[in-house]
Amino acid sequence: MHGLGNDFVVLDAREAPVTMTTALAKALADRHTGIGCDQLILLEPSATADVRMRIWNHDGGEVESCGNASRCVVALTGAKTLETGGGLVEGGTFGADVEVSLPPPHFEWDAIPLSYPMDTAHLPLGWGPLDHPMALSVGNPHVVFFVPDEKAIDMELHGPSIEHDPAFPERINVNVASIREDGIHLRTWERGSGMTLACGTGASATAVAAIVQKKVASPAKVHMRGGALTISWAPGEPIRMRGSATHVFKGEIELEQFT
- Dihedral sign (CA 131, 105, 182, 8): positive
Active site residue 37: no
Peptide bond just before 117 cis, omega within 30 deg: no
Q: How far apart are CA 196 and CA 142, in angstroms?
A: 15
44: CB partners within 8 A, 6+ apart? 13, 14, 17, 51, 52, 53, 54
Residues 187, 192, 193, 196: what is their CA dihedral angle, to the nearest 10 degrees? -20
Strand duo 6-12 + 2-3: pairing? antiparallel
Choosing from 20, 27, 66, 207, the catalytic residue is 66
Q: Active-site residue 66, yes or no?
A: yes
Q: Which amino acid is at 165?
A: D
Helix and strand element counts for the chain (H, E): 4, 18
Pairing of strands 87-94, 81-84: antiparallel
| C-alpha of 39 from chain center | 10
Classify residue 241 as left (phi > 0), alpha (psi -120 to 50) or beta.
beta
Q: Which of 29, 42, 55, 199 is catalytic?
A: 199
Q: Check whether the bond before 160 is cis (ω within 30° of 0).
A: no
Q: Which residues are catalytic?
A: 66, 199
